[in-house]
């Protein structure tokens, strides 16, 4: 079981030709006779020669690898993003290094050093806490940011959070909801801050001032939804609809409601954000679908074929109506 | 933004010393004067020299990378496994290539070729459809199998499925259940086949013969649970308890029950298998917890430090009691 890979040198020896000739055969040059080509190819086949991609890439002093910094692999949105980028990377013969940072700054820095060591071509950063990195120390790595923009010098890709929240607010407004709350605000998370702000603005344009007590802070996990449920139930002036910063929060909210015998949408109308992997939840959550494949494609392009000037992509979103909202009497 | 990595040769030039001297300083040899050491180190710092790990590894004709073949990244069990192996790999300075095969044989073969090209040190296979691979063509790669054993020649790691199912059957039996069904049998999946067989055997030992209609076939996704619910409800002789082949199936079953206004555990007692990432489901599913970190550790060891003889690990499991089962009157 411990056979070694055969190299181009051994093939040349076995075929009784020069290394240059083997190279010509491998690269499909016509400057070899049929007889030599067949001899070399039969040896390649017999010994199952596989070109060493790593060695080939090494001479350019970058490897055909990119890194993806992710802080929460338990979140289905990020799992979908990993899957999508992984697929694109593989199709383009890139290796994807997944840096699961768990929101730990030390781990982020350690991973970055490692990326430099293996000469990744570029790094995709999703939400995270990296702030004090000397970006200019990242040599010839191309960085791109998902859902945040660290500096004008780097490209970024994000969903149209503002449009998404507007779609949700309009939808709830048309169902006659006026007491609309927000669950899962985290000022450290750029996308969520943008969603929260868009929620305040969209309601403001409809003449509704959001009371402070209608904004519940927390991270993007299901637990935040469960806590938000308890909190909103405790308010004297209960909201009738909840916009959750993501679907996980909506799921947690719904579970908690079920647990104490309340029902969505009878007791609360509920909407989420992300639109992935919630198909087997009941009720089906009305949400904003992010175009994960397009996000992945743009992120990949930005690291692998960087433009002269950084680009800032805002990806379109769409409303997916489930059955988690009810119409109120006017 | 397009600075290049500095090499050992340039450092030597800038410091006015030989390459050997730079090498001695980097490797901490005492055979250099303080003055030279300081001069070299100041240049290393100034130009932020990072050793090229890839180049270092290349001379051994393997890279410090391993591959993990996964067929379903939407399953939280596999996400947890990826996270755990990724963490161990990183701590040991290995790069993990995630091969998301989506149960597609062509993709598996393409990924395998790629692994050979980048000279991965070894490959971890989880459940999948690879059957007709010429394993002996995998050269000096070490293979290890999770939850299945393709050949005596390779190591394998799996959970103690038989013990797990016994724990569940005993638990349900002690709650006076006698009509116990199984949801999610798939004969192509080794671990599930083992679980199904253990269920038949454990009940057999208690004098209960499982009727064929109590075994519902399907994959490991939530949809199977929803379908199983419809199916078991349609039986004239309805089971009182359902053992699901994994937690996702249990979640789908529960969702479907909720959807038509039935309740777990009032209408069915329900148990799962895996024990990861179900904390925010209501009711909390009674399940078998797999020791994912230990599974990951053993898989990693098997590829990175292979023993002379293949090893076959069976990892212990434990029962985690939730509130998805009720006691029946005797």
DSSP-assigned states of every residue in A94-146: -EEEEEE-TT-HHHHHHHHHHHHHTT-SEEEE-S----S--GGGSTT-EEEEE
Q: What is the model's pLDDT at position A188?
A: 83
Structure tokens at A198: 């868009």
Whole-angstrom CA distances from B204 to B148, B174, B215, B287 are 25, 15, 14, 21
Rg (CA), chain A: 26
Q: Where are the beta strands (DSSP E) in B177-302?
A: 180-185, 215-217, 241-244, 269-271, 287-290
pLDDT at residue A134 is higher than 70:
no
Among A residues 30-49, those touching chain B with beta carbons less than 8 Å apart: 48
Q: Among A16-30, A255-269, B231-245, which range has the highest average pLDDT?
A: B231-245
Q: What is the model's pLDDT at position B1?
A: 37
CA-CA distance, A149 to B316, in Å (whole number)? 46
- ipTM of the complex as predicted: 0.78
Residue A95's beta-bridge partner residues? A65
Q: What percent of chain A has pLDDT over 90?
A: 48
Residue B241's beta-bridge partner residues? B180, B269
Is there a contact between A139 and B50 if contact means CB atoms under 8 Å apart? yes
pLDDT at residue B303 is higher than 50:
yes
- C-alpha distance from B83 to closest chain A C-alpha (Å): 7
Tally Cβ neighbours within 10 Å of residue B260: 11
User: Once rounded to an integer, what is the mean pLDDT over residues B247-265?
Assistant: 91
Residues in B closer than 8 angstroms to A139, CB to CB, are 3-5, 48, 50
Cβ of residue A117 closer than 8 Å to a chain B Cβ: yes
Minimal CA–CA distance to A273: which of A225, A226, A320?
A320
Structure tokens at A314: 């805002």
Half-sphere exposure (Cβ direction) of A60: Cα atoms closer than 13 Å: 11
B195 CB contacts (<8 Å, ≥6 apart)? B161, B164, B165, B182, B245, B273
A105 CB contacts (<8 Å, ≥6 apart)? A129, A130
Is there a contact between B83 and A73 if contact means CB atoms under 8 Å apart? yes
Q: What percent of chain A has pLDDT over 70?
A: 88
Q: What is the model's pLDDT at position A53?
A: 61
**φ, ψ of residue A251 in degrees (nearest 5):** -65, -45
Do the beta carbons of residue A161 and residue A172 sit within 8 Å? no
* Per-residue pLDDT tens over the stretch A217-262: 999 999 999 999 999 999 999 999 999 999 999 999 998 998 888 9
User: A66-80, A164-178, B56-70: which has the minimum mean pLDDT?
Assistant: B56-70
User: A135-149, A214-228, B40-54, B125-139: which has the minimum mean pLDDT?
Assistant: B125-139
A106 CB contacts (<8 Å, ≥6 apart)? none
User: A75-79, A99-103, B186-190, B215-219: which has the minimum mean pLDDT?
Assistant: A99-103
Q: Among A204-208, B100-104, B259-263, which range has the highest average pLDDT?
A: A204-208
Question: Residue A289 belongs to what H/E stretch?
Answer: strand A287-290
Which residue carries 């006779």 as its tokens? A33
Residues in B closer than 8 angstroms to A97, CB to CB, are 95-96
pLDDT at residue A2 is higher than 50:
no
Q: What is the model's pLDDT at position A1?
A: 37
Tally Cβ neighbours within 10 Å of residue A230: 12
Which residue carries 């969209």 as its tokens? A202
Is there a contact between B95 and A113 if contact means CB atoms under 8 Å apart? no
Q: What is the model's pLDDT at position A63?
A: 62
pLDDT at residue B321 is higher than 80:
yes
Cβ of residue B60 closer than 8 Å to a chain A Cβ: no
Closest chain A CA to residue B96:
A97
CA-CA distance, A49 to A71, in Å (whole number)? 39
- C-alpha distance from B76 to closest chain A C-alpha (Å): 8
Minimal CA–CA distance to B314: which of B148, B201, B125?
B148
Is there a contact between A4 and B258 if contact means CB atoms under 8 Å apart? no
Q: What is the model's pLDDT at position A131?
A: 60
Q: What confidence tier does B269 reach under pLDDT thresholds 50, 70, 90? A: very high
Residue spans of alpha helices (H) in chain A: 8-15, 19-26, 34-46, 53-58, 76-91, 105-117, 161-174, 190-205, 222-234, 247-259, 292-304
Among B residues 181-240, those touching chain A with beta carbons less than 8 Å apart: 221-223, 225-226
User: Once rounded to an integer, what is the mean pLDDT over residues A141-158?
Assistant: 82
Is there a contact between A61 and B52 if contact means CB atoms under 8 Å apart? yes
Residues in B closer than 8 angstroms to A76, CB to CB, are 74
Cβ of residue B260 closer than 8 Å to a chain A Cβ: no
Question: Residue B43 belongs to what H/E stretch?
Answer: helix B34-46
Minimal CA–CA distance to B66: which of B86, B91, B52?
B86
Q: What is the model's pLDDT at position A268?
A: 97
Among B residues 273-302, those touching chain A with beta carbons less than 8 Å apart: 277, 279-283
pLDDT at residue A138 is higher than 70:
no
Whole-angstrom CA distances from A61 to A159, A182, A307, B137, B189 are 34, 48, 20, 30, 43
pLDDT at residue A298 is higher than 60:
yes
DSSP 8-state class, residue B53: H
- C-alpha distance from B142 to closest chain A C-alpha (Å): 8
**Strands A180-185 vs A215-217: parallel, antiparallel or unpaired:** parallel
Q: What is the model's pLDDT at position B52?
A: 65
Q: Which residue has better confidence, A78 or B115?
A: A78
Q: Could you give all domains of chain A from N- to C-terminal order, each with its CATH number? A: 8-51 (1.10.260.40), 65-159+293-316 (3.40.50.2300), 161-290 (3.40.50.2300)
CA-CA distance, B89 to A100, in Å (whole number)? 11
Whole-angstrom CA distances from B267 to B96, B168, B177 are 45, 18, 13
Mean pLDDT of chain B: 87
Q: What is the model's pLDDT at position B178?
A: 97
Mean pLDDT of chain A: 87
């Amino acid at each position: 079981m411990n056979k070694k890979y055969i190299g181009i040198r051994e093939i040349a020896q076995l075929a009784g030709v020069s290394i240059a000739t083997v190279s010509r055969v491998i690269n499909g040059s016509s400057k070899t006779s049929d007889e030599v080509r067949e001899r070399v190819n039969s040896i390649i086949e017999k010994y199952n020669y596989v070109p060493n991609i790593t060695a080939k890439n090494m001479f350019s002093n970058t490897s055909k690898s990119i890194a993806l910094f992710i802080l929460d692999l338990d979140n289905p949105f990020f799992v979908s993003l990993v899957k999508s980028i992984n697929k694109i990377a593989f199709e383009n013969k890139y290796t994807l290094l997944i840096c699961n940072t768990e929101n730990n700054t030390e781990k982020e820095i350690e991973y970055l050093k490692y990326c430099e060591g293996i000469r990744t071509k570029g790094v995709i950063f999703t939400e995270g806490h990296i702030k004090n990195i000397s970006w200019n120390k990242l040599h010839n790595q191309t960085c791109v940011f998902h859902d945040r923009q660290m500096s004008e010098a780097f490209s970024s890709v994000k969903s149209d959070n503002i449009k998404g929240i507007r779609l949700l607010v309009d939808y709830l407004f048309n169902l006659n909801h006026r007491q609309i709350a927000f669950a899962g605000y985290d000022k450290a998370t750029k996308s969520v801050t943008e969603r929260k702000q868009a929620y305040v603005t969209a309601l403001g344009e409809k003449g509704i001032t959001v009371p402070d007590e209608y904004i519940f802070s927390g991270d993007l996990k299901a637990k935040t939804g469960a806590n938000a449920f308890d909190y909103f139930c405790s308010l004297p002036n209960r909201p009738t609809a909840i916009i959750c910063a993501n679907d996980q929060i909506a799921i947690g909210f719904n579970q908690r409601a079920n647990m104490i015998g309340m029902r969505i949408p009878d007791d609360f109308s509920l909407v989420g954000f992300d639109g992935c992997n919630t198909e087997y939840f009941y009720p089906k959550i009305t949400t904003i679908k992010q175009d994960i494949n397009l996000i992945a494609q743009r992120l990949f392009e930005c690291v692998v074929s960087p433009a002269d000037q950084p680009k800032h992509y805002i990806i379109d979103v769409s409303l997916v109506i489930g059955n988690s909202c009810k119409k109120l009497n006017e």
